[in-house]
Structure 1
Amino acid sequence: MTARAPGTATENGAGDEDAAGTGAENFFAGEPLLRLVATAMVRLSQQRTVGDPVYEDSVQQAYNHIVLHCLRRGAEPPGSVPELARWAAEKPLGAWDFGLPEELAPEAGTHLVDAATGSPTQSCLEWAVSARDPAAEQFENLLMKEALAESRAADAPEAYVAFRRLLIEKPVLTETELAALSADLDLGLLHETVKRCYERAPASCLRDGRYTACGRCGCLLVPVPHGGFRCELDVCRRSPVRQGISWTPADGGGLRHLSRPLRTFITGPGLAETALESALARAGLTAEMWPRFDTYDLRVTFPDGQVWAIDVKDRANPALLGRDTRPLRQDPPYDRGLLVVPQYRFTERDGYREVFRHHVPEEAADRIELLSDRELLRQVRTRLRGRKRPERTRKNSTTGTRGTTGKGAEDA
């Protein structure tokens, strides 16, 4: 497959000026350019065959825009789409000179593509999912909305809860296990939607004729050159790889793997959600999970009757998280609305809280507090001991210092 240089004719004779708008002055830079390139990397990763002799429009346009951006700066542009993909794997985002505002600048060493696995990083997916009309966002939202609609129509909240737990706890299923879910009392209602969430396990995850799961998240590990494996989830990359169960391609009639967008934006945060559920249970509290068909993630009622509503996110970029944040709906009602992010995000990104608060919409800024999972559990324990939470701690939880340890809820 080949790329067209900016301004050359397409198959129907139209130039790229028509595709881009009114001409070269409308070529993107800054954040729009980063979104274009990130979306192109996601689209390339979804490509399964060689196909047409030219790349699809989203990839071609990203290449055209990055070439013109380089030429305008007097820099050497990538010579082809494959070279652009190599840039995404080899050049940290800080070296691209997109012209991003400081608060949007990625953490040092952030790449769009993982050089070891050749797959988009979570940062890449976050920028692509934030872009206009990306396939990943459509796919994730469509399936989750289908599950919600079917559960609501049957007045079966237990079916939706079972569906969410399945995507978190079982990112890999054999064909036999997938078929057996049709007889499950809760999941049978959503069986057709469940089947669409899982893809055939790719050959790229095979090593020596076997698939191997990550011992932490349960997703398939990706073999890397010169031996070893790598997990695609950010939460697992902080520690050495832990190998879990393994399968042959024929086990259980074949293997299915949860789609990448769902692994990133449902399984990843879901691990933090269920870790909080377990930690709260150890503290003597029962969390209602995804109440009223996922109004928010956890609803915790204290012995004195006060209710905390908790939404959990595991996002690499605090600016994008801030932009996406909205006040939690008051159904079911609560006394305190909290947005909880795993502690490792605060530890790995200086100023995570401050960048988030700079970008959160005004209507949400005073109605939802950002906490790390460790901060949340510390406040829970303080409340259960019957002590008044110190004013200094309250201020820190919403505007001040970041945490001092990288442990998450599961370690608290």
Structure 2
Amino acid sequence: MAGGREVGGPSRTALPVLPGVAVVPEQRARRRRRGRGEGVTTTGTKDARTRSESTSGTDEALLRQIATALACLSRLRTVPNPVYPAKVQNAYNRLVLHCLRRGEEPPGSVPEMVRWAGERPLTEWPLKLPAEEFPGASPLVDPETRLPHQLCLEWEVSAADPAAELFENELIREAVARCRAAKSPQAYTAFRALLTSRPVLTGAELALLGGDPDCGMLLHDVIKRCYEPVPASYQRHGTYRQCARCRCLMVPLLHGGHRCELDRCRRDGTSDEGPRLRAGKGGLLQLSRPLRMFITSPGLAETDLQAALLKKFGITAEMWPHYDVYDLRIPLPGGRHWAVDVKDRVNPVLLARSLTPFRNEPPYDRAFLVVPRYRFRDNEAYGRQFRRNLPEDLADRITLLDDRAFLRLVADEIPSPRDKAGDPRTEGDPRA
């Protein structure tokens, strides 16, 4: 994914339930919520629309702050002193004040705020936001794995200066700078392929990468900072389980079985339990969770598209050209090229807002944003919501398509065998 990739630092597997006193009985809170109604409401009056527009900016900022707090909690390895980091306590305090001003029952503690995130879809939070900003009905946190969903991380990285995005950008910029200095674009391509295809490494494998001529010799210290020790919570009966599809570690569930944490595997129904792994003497390491979410997952969509172009049309696409100005550069007949950026995002509104123009080096004739098909199945209004929020200066410069529609468009550009051979009905001199 070119530019502004939203990925992050050290992560833990699940949100901790840290000490806190639940001062608001849950049953009473639920009764009051049912009596008043909650979440996003629509009204036919102009005054109500005006009030909603005036508060939506504040409510959106609060949602970003809550998402950042949840992501922060998920990355804690120990209970800090004071118990909650300032960004967590501040988010909770703002949520309580917001609820009181709206006449809503607030969560009684930080753990209860976390429970809200695992039990309530965003439509049931006391927030006034446009309905299109609430895609799907999933909560911010998976109630079984206690991991923030991708939707939560997308809201986090849309906040000002999120730690996750700063960490990721630093790594990517450093990798790009080193490869540029060495005049080795192939090393950067190998680095991106590594993050896509090998989200889990043993300690011995990571050490051996230091002698890898493709990218390890140049970028070994950057690679080491991308990986972190796997927490014990991923382990069951002394072993870890990989997802057969994406090769990320699966999360053990309380009542048995495992679940892949990537939307890509869970939502399109192709997540299967893969091989078991043991840590070994060197330990087991995995990419930090936001890297898995925002680099590995769309990276798989990118390489799937690359493979489909080769298999269907014999087209060899250039991956991450010119140090990742975009994701694929696709050669077409007549010396033309198409530029493609692949995004695998839940929220089309946040996606549209985050886009910047494609750089024209290397040059291309058309630019496309390609999103996996399952996102459109989950949200039938995905394309409309994206277009409504796309900056005006990009409206005529980027075309949004799902991956299947894009491949059909490529097929239209490839001459058929009859076109190549010429139509026998029109070949030769018509006067003959």
Interval of TM-score (by shorter of Structure 1 and Structure 2): 0.7 to 0.9
- 1:301 to 1:28, Cα distance in 2 relative to 1, 3 A: closer
Q: TM-score, normalised by structure 2?
A: 0.82
Name the residue aligned to 1:160.
Answer: 188
- The alignment status of 1:260 with 2:275, answered yes or no, reads no
CA contact (8 A) 2:156 2:162 kept: yes
- CA separation in 2, counterparts of 1:66 and 1:157? 47
Partner letter of residue 70 of structure 2? Answer: M
- The alignment status of 1:305 with 2:335, answered yes or no, reads yes
Helix, strand or coil for the counterpart of 2:334?
A: coil
- The alignment status of 1:291 with 2:316, answered yes or no, reads no
Name the residue aligned to 2:209.
Answer: 181
Deviation at 1:165, TM superposition (A): 0.3
Deviation at 1:240, TM superposition (A): 5.8
Runs of 4+ in 1 over 6 A off after TM superposition: none
Deviation at 1:153, TM superposition (A): 1.0
Deviation at 1:211, TM superposition (A): 0.7
Name the residue aligned to 2:144.
Answer: 116
1:291-320 Cα distance to aligned partner (Å, 9 max, x none): 000010000111321110000000000000
Of 151, 159, 166, 2:179 maps to 151
- 1:61 to 1:27, Cα distance in 2 relative to 1, 3 A: farther
CA contact (8 A) 2:99 2:126 kept: no
- The alignment status of 1:40 with 2:40, answered yes or no, reads no
Name the residue aligned to 2:405.
Answer: 375
Of 313, 318, 338, 2:348 maps to 318
- The alignment status of 1:50 with 2:79, answered yes or no, reads yes
Helix, strand or coil for the counterpart of 1:253?
A: coil
CA contact (8 A) 1:269 1:314 kept: yes
Of 254, 262, 265, 1:225 maps to 254
CA contact (8 A) 1:113 1:120 kept: yes
Name the residue aligned to 1:353.
Answer: 383
- CA separation in 1, counterparts of 2:382 and 2:57? 27
Partner letter of residue 399 of structure 2? Answer: E
1:334-377 Cα distance to aligned partner (Å, 9 max, x none): 00011100011111112101111111111211111111100110
Deviating more after overlay: 132-141 vs 330-339:
132-141
Of 120, 133, 136, 1:91 maps to 120
- 1:317 to 1:105, Cα distance in 2 relative to 1, 3 A: same
1:2-13 pair list within 5 angstroms: none
Name the residue aligned to 1:171.
Answer: 199
Partner letter of residue 344 of structure 1? Answer: Y
- CA separation in 1, counterparts of 2:20 and 2:242? 36
- CA separation in 1, counterparts of 2:116 and 2:226? 31
Deviating more after overlay: 123-132 vs 72-81:
72-81
1:35-85 Cα distance to aligned partner (Å, 9 max, x none): 010000000001111121341111011101111111122221111101101
Deviation at 1:386, TM superposition (A): 5.4
- CA separation in 1, counterparts of 2:330 and 2:411? 13
Q: TM-score, normalised by structure 1?
A: 0.86
Name the residue aligned to 2:99.
Answer: 70
Unaligned residue ranges in structure 1 (runs of 5+): 6-25, 388-412
- The alignment status of 1:244 with 2:274, answered yes or no, reads yes
- CA separation in 1, counterparts of 2:20 and 2:159? 22
- CA separation in 1, counterparts of 2:196 and 2:134? 30
- CA separation in 1, counterparts of 2:271 and 2:303? 21
Aligned length: 366
- CA separation in 1, counterparts of 2:224 and 2:201? 10
Deviation at 1:89, TM superposition (A): 0.5
Name the residue aligned to 2:242.
Answer: 213
Name the residue aligned to 1:400.
Answer: none
Of 73, 82, 91, 2:111 maps to 82
CA contact (8 A) 1:306 1:335 kept: yes
Helix, strand or coil for the counterpart of 2:370?
A: strand
- 1:208 to 1:62, Cα distance in 2 relative to 1, 3 A: same
Identity of aligned residues (%): 56
Partner letter of residue 211 of structure 2? Answer: A
- CA separation in 2, counterparts of 1:338 and 1:214? 30
Deviation at 1:385, TM superposition (A): 3.3
- CA separation in 2, counterparts of 1:27 and 1:323? 16
CA contact (8 A) 2:20 2:111 kept: no
- 1:326 to 1:4, Cα distance in 2 relative to 1, 3 A: farther
CA contact (8 A) 1:27 1:65 kept: no
Asked which structure has the greater CA Rg, the reply is 2
CA contact (8 A) 1:2 1:55 kept: no
- 1:340 to 1:62, Cα distance in 2 relative to 1, 3 A: same
RCO (CA 8 Å, sep 6+): is it higher in 1 or 2?
2
- CA separation in 1, counterparts of 2:148 and 2:323? 31
1:242-296 Cα distance to aligned partner (Å, 9 max, x none): 11122122x2621100001110110010010000000000121010000000010
CA contact (8 A) 1:3 1:55 kept: no
- CA separation in 2, counterparts of 1:132 and 1:302? 40
What is the aligned-residue RMSD (CA, Å)? 2.0
Partner letter of residue 152 of structure 1? Answer: R
Name the residue aligned to 2:38.
Answer: none
Helix, strand or coil for the counterpart of 1:235?
A: helix
CA contact (8 A) 1:29 1:98 kept: no
Name the residue aligned to 2:7.
Answer: none
Name the residue aligned to 1:364.
Answer: 394
Deviation at 1:3, TM superposition (A): 6.8
- CA separation in 1, counterparts of 2:282 and 2:345? 35
- CA separation in 1, counterparts of 2:73 and 2:166? 17
CA contact (8 A) 1:3 1:54 kept: no
Name the residue aligned to 1:272.
Answer: 301
